[in-house]
Structure 1
Amino acid sequence: MSRQVSRSRLSIAAAAAVLLAMPGLAEAHILTGEAGGFLHGFEHPLSGLDHLLAMFCVGLWGAQMGGRSVWSLPIAFPLIMVAGGMMGIAGVPLPGVESGIALSIVVLGAAIALVWRPPELLALSVIGVFAIFHGYAHGAELPNATDPADYAIGFVVATGLIHLAGIAVGLGFQRLREGNLSRALGGLIGIGGLYFLIA
């Protein structure tokens, strides 16, 4: 039992370290004023709480679902997000982007709070739709004179790290209070999503 608790604490500490390090990296980029496409892309998912919460939820939900979903959801999300990013860069019209991003927080938070474990294909479809909206927002805000490929790699890497933080917290919380901490966290995030939805 003590060994399980220590592993849970280690997972949570690792996730916290990743989340705390990310804003520092973004701030360092801003202070140095480097114009590299990778750094611009890496910074973007960290600059908005709506992106951060949704991407964290993807990892947390995958960990809660278990099995292949632990990795299939966090791998699929950034890959599909690239397609959305290309749409944004190309200027393809996509209505309701901000609402779609906010709704992703509500739906993913609710899925975690309600311990919804749909078939893997359905879960992938859900996150895939939301990944398009998040990717589109990243692509539409591509800075001038930034290489699109480097920018895309940057936001995919940052997204992957946020997913890993969600997975670490989810796996850690599974061993504490029978997963109720994950449910509570999902509920709080979902409520936060309502704020973004009506703001």
Structure 2
Amino acid sequence: MARDDRSNYESYQKDAFDNPPKGPIGVHRGNTSLLSRSIPYFIVVVVAVLAGLLVWGFYSGELQKTFAGHNQSQSQTTTSEKTEKKKPAKSKTDTKSNTKSDADASTNQQQAAPQPAQQVNKQTAVQVLNATGTTGYAAQKKAVLDQAGYSNVTAGNPTGDVPASTVVWYANDADKATAQDVANTLGISSVEQKSDAGQPIVVLLQN
């Protein structure tokens, strides 16, 4: 029976399937390097680390703080830019106007500032000159000034040309207040500055 099957098998015409090729059939891949085989594992490790950091940052609040700080910084920058845009540029006219206003204010302050009052100095040298021709008249006026507190008063007679009316002379501006007080004490209305008077204050008595 087996012989009949073999004869029947051999009686068929042989095709490609009856003569299979020798050796491996199909796609043959060569050996891959260690680096190529390690890349997928490295990618998995990196992704796992990033995912872990993301989860840690979310639950610990660090991620929210980072985003909040970034948003706040952007908000402050935007607000600063809007404020700078709203500020009007100062024109040359405004600058000149402000300078003039400051100068006027300084002048007004100087004018409004009270001048220091001059003090009466009763130790100042006062000379009383008698041009009336009445004997002892200068001594009488000296006594009046002595009673008023003046401590450096002398009496005498004038020399040279004299004015026609009674007058009180003072040499320097610092003696003006004292000269006016002397005139008030003696009842004299005329007070004048005379740089060559010879004394700080001179009283010239005339008829």
TM-score w.r.t. the length of structure 1 is 0.19
Larger Cα-atom Rg: 2
- Structure with the bigger percentage of helix: 1
Structure scoring higher RCO (CA < 8 A, sep ≥ 6) equals 1
TM-score w.r.t. the length of structure 2 is 0.19
- Structure with the bigger percentage of strand: 2
